[in-house]
C-alpha cells in the first residue's frame, strides 16, 4: 500500500512536470499563431486587400463611340447609326435549342450563318453574351420584338455602329472601319488601350490616319465576380468619351459630281483651294461601298471588288503614278523662262517630227505646227517646241523646278501611308538608281512628260494650284483645324525667281483653253465668272510603234489597256483664280476630249458653291 502510494506520488510528480512543459510549449505555439495572424491581418493587410479586390472586381470595357467625319458644311460623311442587334446569354435561356431554332426561322438564317452562331456559342462561357445577329433590319428587329414572349433570354440591343451615308463617294478619302485585328492592336497604342472584342477600327484612309483622335474612350463597367468569373453585381459605371469629330475641307457636292463624272471609268479627280491648300474634292474611281466592310465583307463582294480590272482598291489620286504627259509643259516652260533659256519671242519650227541624236521624235500633230512661240506651243501643246526647250534646258534644271512645285514628293506628308512619291528624274538619280548615265534623248521625252517621269494626280493638282496662285508654296490639307498651329514656316514663300515668268505661263495656259486652236478650246466657258484655264495631257502607256503611228487608230479601236491616259489640269476663275484641279481618266484616250469636259462641269459647280463656302468662313470669324 505504501509502495503503491509512493509510486502514485512519483507518477503524479512526473505527469505534473510534463504538464508544465506541455503548457509552456502550448503558450509559445499560441504566441506563434497570434503573431502570424498579426502579420497577415495587420502588417500585410494592404497587400492582401489589394489581392482580394483583384480577385473579386473585374472590369468590362464597352466599345467606345467613334468620332465622326463631317464635310466643310457639316454634312455627316462618316457617322454612327444605331445597329439593331440580337444578344443571347446562353445560361439565361431555359431551352437553348428551342430558342435558337426559333430564331433561325424568324431571322431566316442560312445554314452557314446558323452554324457560325452555334460555333460561336461553343467558344464562349455560358454567361457571356452571344451575338446572334449584329445588324438586323428594322423589319426583322420588330418581328423579334413581337415574338419576345416565347424567346426567353433573347435580348434585342441597339448598338452604335459606323455608317457611311454617301457610300462610295468618300471611300478612298475617308476609308472604312472594320474589326480590329492583331496587327492593329500592336501597331496603335490607342487601339490597344481601348480594345474590346468586336471593336471596329480604321483600316485605310483618314479613318486609319486619325485613329487616335477618332477612337474615343471605353465605357467601363466594374462588376463584382465570383471565382468562376460570373458577374454578381455592378459596382460602377464609368462613361467613356466619344471620339473627336473631324471636319474636313471637302465639299460633298463637288465630291459627288467627281464620282458621277468618273462613273464606269478608272481615274481620279482632285480640286484644291489655291490659297489655303484646302482640298475641295478628292476622288478615285472606281470606288466601292465602305459600308460593306463594317460588319465584315462577304466573300462574294470581296472577290467582286478584288478582281475588278479597274482596281477599285487602289487610291489612284495618291497611289497612281502616271506619266504627266503634256500637263508637265507649264513646268518645262516655266523652268526654261526662269533659267533664261528661252524668252517669249523664242520660236521653234514644228514639222510634225524632228531628228535629234539620230532618233526621230514625233509631234502629236503629224502635219506640224509651223513656227511656234512659247504661248502658241503651250496653247496647241506642240511637242516639237518642248523637245527643243527641254534639250536646251537639260533635265537637272527641269527637275529642280518640278520639285519646287511639289512633284516627286508626298503631298500630304505622313497623312496617308499609301501615298506615292512619284518620280522626277535627273542625271544623279539615274546613276544611283539604275547605274547608267543619262541619255540626252531621255531629256527630250521628259520635256513632254514621258519617260521616267511619274506624278500622282494630287501632285499635278498642287503643281497647278501653285502656278495659279502666282507661284507661292501652299500645303494641301483635308482637315479643318480650328487652332491655327503648326503652320509650316515656308508657307507662301515664292517658288519663282521672277513673278513675270509665272504670269507668262498662266497666260499661255489661258490661251490653251480660251483661244481658237487651243487644245481644250471646246471645253471653255466664256462667262468670266466661270472662265478657267487648263492644260491637257495625253500620257502614253506604251511606246507607239511606227506601224501604229501609220495606222492612226481612233481610241475605241485600241484595246482598253493600251489606250492613252487622259489628263487635264486647270485653274479658275481666270480673272481671279481660286481653285485648281486635276483630272485623270485612265485609258481615257485623249486629254482634250475626255478629261477637259469634266473640268467644265466641275468649275461650274465649284464656283457656284464658292459663295456658300466663303459665307461659312466669314461666319466663323463673326462668331469670334
Partner 1 sequence: MYQHTRLTTNRLGFFQKFRNFDYILLVCILLLGFISLATMYSTDGGEIKFHTKSHFTKLAVFTLMMLVMSFINIKYWFSIGYLAYVAVVGLLVGTYLFGITSSGSQRWINLYFINLQPSELMKIFIIVCLAKFFHRMKLENVNSIYTILTSLIIILLPMGLVIVQPDLGTAVLIAISGIAVLWFAGINYKYFIYTILGFIISLPFVIAFLKPYQKLRVLTFLNPDKDPLGAGYQIIQSKIAVGSGGIFGKGFLKGTQSYLEFLPEKHTDFIFTLFSEEFGFVGSAILLVIYAIIIYRIVAIGASSRSYFAKIFCYSFGAAIFVFITINMSMVLGLLPIVGSPLPIMSYGGSSMLATMIGFGIVMSARVHNQQLIA
Give the interface with partner 1 as residue ranges (CB under 8 A). 7-8, 10-12, 14-16, 18-19, 22-23, 26, 29-30, 32-34, 36-38, 40-42, 44-45, 47-49, 51-52, 55-56, 224-228, 232
By C-beta, is 56 or 362 nearer to partner 1?
56
By C-beta, is 23 or 437 nearer to partner 1?
23
In DSSP notation, 447-516 reads TTT-TT-BB-HHHHHHHHHHHHTTSB----BSB--SS-----TTTT-B--S-HHHHHHHHHHHHHHHHST
By C-beta, is 49 or 612 nearer to partner 1?
49
Q: Give the shortest CB-284-to-partner 1 separation in angstroms.
A: 53
Q: Give the shortest CB-459-to-partner 1 separation in angstroms.
A: 59
**Which residues have a Cβ under 8 Å from the Cβ of 76 and sit 6 or more positions away?**
68, 69, 70, 165
In this structure, how many other beta carbons lie within 10 angstroms of the beta carbon of residue 476? 23
CA 406 from centroid of its chain's CA atoms: 20
- DSSP helix/strand/coil, 35: helix
Q: Which of 467, 532, 536 is nearest to 505 (CA)?
A: 467
Q: Give the shortest CB-212-to-partner 1 separation in angstroms.
A: 36
Q: Which of 309, 314, 310, 291 is nearest to 301 (CA)?
A: 291
Question: CA 84, CA 70: separation in Å to the nearest integer?
Answer: 24
CA distances for 256 relative to 224, 377, 482, angstroms? 52, 35, 25
Question: CA 589, CA 290: separation in Å to the nearest integer?
Answer: 30
Q: Give the shortest CB-44-to-partner 1 separation in angstroms.
A: 5
Question: CA 557, CA 97: separation in Å to the nearest integer?
Answer: 63
By C-beta, is 46 or 483 nearer to partner 1?
46
Dihedral sign for Cα 42, 47, 48, 53, please. positive
Q: Give the shortest CB-48-to-partner 1 separation in angstroms.
A: 3
The C-alpha cell 523662262 sits at 337
Question: CA 149, CA 103: separation in Å to the nearest integer?
Answer: 13
Q: Give the shortest CB-89-to-partner 1 separation in angstroms.
A: 20
Q: Give the shortest CB-209-to-partner 1 separation in angstroms.
A: 42
Dihedral sign for Cα 365, 367, 373, 379, please. negative
Q: Give the shortest CB-221-to-partner 1 separation in angstroms.
A: 17
Q: Give the shortest CB-229-to-partner 1 separation in angstroms.
A: 10
CA 492 from centroid of its chain's CA atoms: 27
Is the separation of the CB atoms in 204 and 234 below 8 Å?
A: no
Q: Give the shortest CB-106-to-partner 1 separation in angstroms.
A: 38
By C-beta, is 14 or 615 nearer to partner 1?
14
By C-beta, is 42 or 622 nearer to partner 1?
42
By C-beta, is 34 or 196 nearer to partner 1?
34
By C-beta, is 45 or 145 nearer to partner 1?
45
By C-beta, is 19 or 553 nearer to partner 1?
19
By C-beta, is 49 or 544 nearer to partner 1?
49
Q: Which contacts qualify for 76-79: CB closer than 8 Å, 24 or more apart?
A: 76/165, 77/164, 77/165, 77/166, 77/170, 77/174, 77/248, 77/250, 77/252, 78/162, 78/163, 78/164, 78/170, 78/174, 78/207, 79/162, 79/163, 79/164, 79/165
Amino acid at each position: 500500500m505504501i509502495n503503491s502510494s509512493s509510486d502514485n506520488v512519483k507518477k503524479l510528480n512526473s505527469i505534473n512536470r510534463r504538464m508544465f512543459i506541455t503548457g509552456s510549449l502550448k503558450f509559445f505555439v499560441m504566441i506563434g499563431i497570434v503573431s502570424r495572424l498579426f502579420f497577415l491581418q495587420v502588417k500585410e493587410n494592404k497587400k492582401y486587400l489589394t489581392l482580394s479586390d483583384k480577385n473579386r472586381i473585374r472590369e468590362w470595357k464597352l466599345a467606345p463611340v467613334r468620332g465622326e467625319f463631317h464635310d466643310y458644311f457639316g454634312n455627316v460623311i462618316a457617322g454612327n447609326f444605331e445597329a439593331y442587334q440580337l444578344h443571347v446569354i446562353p445560361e439565361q435561356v431555359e431551352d437553348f435549342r428551342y430558342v435558337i431554332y426559333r430564331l433561325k426561322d424568324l431571322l431566316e438564317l442560312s445554314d452557314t450563318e446558323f452554324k457560325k452562331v452555334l460555333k460561336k456559342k461553343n467558344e464562349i462561357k455560358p454567361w457571356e453574351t452571344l451575338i446572334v445577329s449584329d445588324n438586323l433590319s428594322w423589319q426583322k428587329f420588330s418581328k423579334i420584338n413581337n415574338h419576345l414572349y416565347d424567346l426567353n433570354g433573347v435580348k434585342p440591343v441597339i448598338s452604335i455602329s459606323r455608317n457611311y451615308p454617301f457610300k462610295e463617294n468618300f471611300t478612298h478619302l475617308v476609308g472604312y472601319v472594320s474589326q480590329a485585328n492583331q496587327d492593329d492592336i500592336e501597331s496603335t497604342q490607342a487601339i490597344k488601350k481601348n480594345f474590346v472584342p468586336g471593336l471596329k477600327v480604321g483600316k485605310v484612309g483618314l479613318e486609319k490616319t486619325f485613329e487616335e483622335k477618332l477612337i474615343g474612350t471605353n465605357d467601363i463597367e466594374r462588376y463584382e465576380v465570383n471565382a468562376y468569373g460570373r458577374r454578381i453585381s455592378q459596382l460602377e459605371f464609368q462613361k467613356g468619351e466619344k471620339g473627336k469629330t473631324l471636319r474636313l475641307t471637302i465639299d460633298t457636292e463637288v465630291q459627288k459630281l467627281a464620282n458621277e463624272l468618273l462613273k464606269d471609268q478608272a481615274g481620279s479627280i482632285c480640286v484644291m483651294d489655291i490659297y489655303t491648300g484646302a482640298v475641295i474634292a478628292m476622288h478615285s474611281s472606281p470606288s466601292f461601298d465602305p459600308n460593306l466592310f463594317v460588319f465584315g465583307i462577304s466573300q462574294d463582294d470581296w472577290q467582286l471588288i478584288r478582281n475588278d480590272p479597274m482596281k477599285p482598291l487602289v487610291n489612284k489620286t495618291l497611289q497612281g503614278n502616271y506619266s504627266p504627259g503634256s500637263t508637265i509643259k507649264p513646268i518645262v516652260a516655266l523652268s526654261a523662262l526662269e533659267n533664261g533659256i528661252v524668252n517669249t519671242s523664242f520660236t521653234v519650227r514644228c514639222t510634225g517630227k524632228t531628228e535629234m541624236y539620230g532618233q526621230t521624235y514625233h509631234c502629236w500633230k503629224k502635219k506640224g505646227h509651223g513656227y511656234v512661240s512659247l504661248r502658241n506651243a503651250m496653247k496647241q501643246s506642240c511637242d516639237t517646241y518642248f523637245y527643243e526647250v527641254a534639250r536646251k534646258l537639260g533635265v537637272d534644271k527641269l527637275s529642280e523646278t518640278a520639285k519646287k512645285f511639289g512633284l516627286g514628293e508626298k503631298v500630304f506628308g505622313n497623312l496617308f501611308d499609301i501615298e506615292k512619291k512619284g518620280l522626277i528624274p535627273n542625271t544623279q538619280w539615274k546613276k544611283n538608281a539604275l547605274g547608267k548615265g543619262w541619255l540626252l534623248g531621255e531629256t527630250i521625252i521628259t520635256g513632254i512628260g514621258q519617260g521616267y517621269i511619274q506624278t500622282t494626280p494630287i501632285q499635278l493638282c498642287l503643281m497647278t494650284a501653285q502656278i495659279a496662285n502666282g507661284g507661292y508654296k501652299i500645303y494641301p490639307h483635308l482637315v479643318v483645324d480650328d487652332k491655327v498651329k503648326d503652320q509650316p514656316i515656308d508657307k507662301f514663300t515664292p517658288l519663282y525667281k521672277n513673278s513675270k515668268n509665272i504670269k507668262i505661263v498662266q497666260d499661255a495656259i489661258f490661251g490653251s483653253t480660251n483661244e481658237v486652236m487651243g487644245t481644250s478650246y471646246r471645253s471653255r466657258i466664256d462667262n468670266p465668272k466661270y472662265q478657267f484655264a487648263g492644260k491637257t495631257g495625253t500620257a502614253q502607256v506604251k511606246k507607239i510603234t511606227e506601224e501604229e503611228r501609220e495606222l492612226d487608230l481612233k481610241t475605241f479601236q485600241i484595246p482598253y489597256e493600251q489606250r492613252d491616259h487622259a489628263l487635264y489640269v486647270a485653274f479658275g476663275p481666270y480673272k481671279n483664280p481660286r481653285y485648281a484641279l486635276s483630272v485623270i481618266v485612265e485609258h481615257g484616250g485623249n486629254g482634250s476630249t475626255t478629261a477637259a469636259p469634266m473640268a467644265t462641269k466641275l468649275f461650274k459647280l465649284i464656283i457656284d458653291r464658292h459663295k456658300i463656302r466663303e459665307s461659312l468662313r466669314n461666319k466663323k470669324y463673326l462668331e469670334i
